């Protein structure tokens, strides 16, 4: 979609295993079916890494020459503007849902291939009520008709209803779980909440795994590093 151009700086450093995991996630989504176009990404608690995974997933889909839209629906506490060093003044989702700006004013083209974004906008005092409006449902339907994929970042589902409200308008959901920080009971409760919204849970992503403490990945990392270095020496 033709929108205003915005420059974003990705602070993510190169990490082979992280990048491969994002590619695997992208592939799994592609095999989930042609009817899976709008996907919400949430977590049980704050700071589990859901926003970063959601954005990196959107970038990776764009790299496959698919039109993708990232929607920042974490309208309670978004950090996208600061995280990706956006210097320009933008209009966002809360301003559209509250009638302050028109629909076409919240779409931005980024400097990443095939990736557009809708920012959260100023923090609203009534996030759940805004997301439950018919205007949000209509916006999601419009996005579905224009983009190959729509990735929606939401607040954690453990303590807030927002994620379940958004999930009602999505084809699938991904639950991000921080390794060692979330109990099985809490994760199952989050999964049940998503399912009650009528959204298909596509799967979970185990994030922040300590490779140094995981014997399998440590051995694999060492072997890969040795193979890569020896390959370079032979060139």
What is the Cα–Cα distance from 95 to 129, expressed in whole angstroms?
A: 13
Q: Domain-by-domain residue ranges, the chain?
A: 4-234
Enter the pTM of the model.
0.87
Percent of the chain with pLDDT over 70: 89
Q: If pLDDT is split at 50, 70 and 90, which confidence band does 212 have?
A: low
pLDDT for res 211: 63
Q: Which residues, including other chains, have CB under 8 Å from residue 71's CB and lie 6 or more apart?
A: 93, 117, 118, 143, 150, 151, 152, 153
Please tell me the class of the 4-234 domain: alpha beta
pLDDT for res 121: 94
Q: Considering all CA atoms of the chain, what is the largest pairwise distance in Å, rounded to the nearest integer?
A: 62
Strands 115-118 and 108-109 come out as: antiparallel
Per-residue pLDDT of 167-187, as tens digits, reads 999 999 999 999 888 899 999
């Amino acid at each position: 979609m033709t929108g205003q151009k915005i420059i974003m700086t990705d602070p993510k450093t190169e990490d082979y295993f992280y990048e491969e995991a994002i590619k695997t996630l992208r592939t799994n989504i592609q095999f989930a079916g042609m009817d899976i176009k709008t996907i919400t990404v949430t977590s049980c608690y704050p700071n589990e890494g859901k926003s970063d995974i959601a954005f990196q997933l959107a970038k990776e889909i764009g790299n496959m020459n698919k039109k993708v839209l990232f929607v920042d629906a974490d309208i309670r506490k978004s950090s996208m503007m600061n995280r990706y060093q956006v210097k320009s003044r933008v209009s966002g989702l809360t301003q559209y849902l509250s009638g302050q700006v028109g629909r076409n004013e919240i779409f931005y083209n980024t400097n990443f291939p095939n990736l557009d974004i809708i920012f959260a906008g100023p923090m609203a005092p009534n996030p759940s009520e805004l997301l439950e409006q018919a205007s949000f449902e209509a916006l999601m339907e419009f996005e579905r008709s224009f983009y190959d994929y729509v990735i929606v970042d939401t607040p954690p589902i453990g303590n807030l209803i927002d994620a379940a409200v958004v999930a009602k308008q999505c084809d699938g959901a991904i639950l991000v779980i921080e390794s060692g920080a979330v109990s099985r009971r809490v994760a199952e409760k989050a999964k049940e909440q998503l399912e009650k919204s009528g959204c298909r849970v596509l799967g979970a992503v185990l994030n922040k795994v300590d490779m140094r403490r995981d014997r399998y990945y440590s051995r694999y990392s060492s072997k890969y590093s040795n193979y890569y270095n020896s390959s370079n020496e032979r060139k």
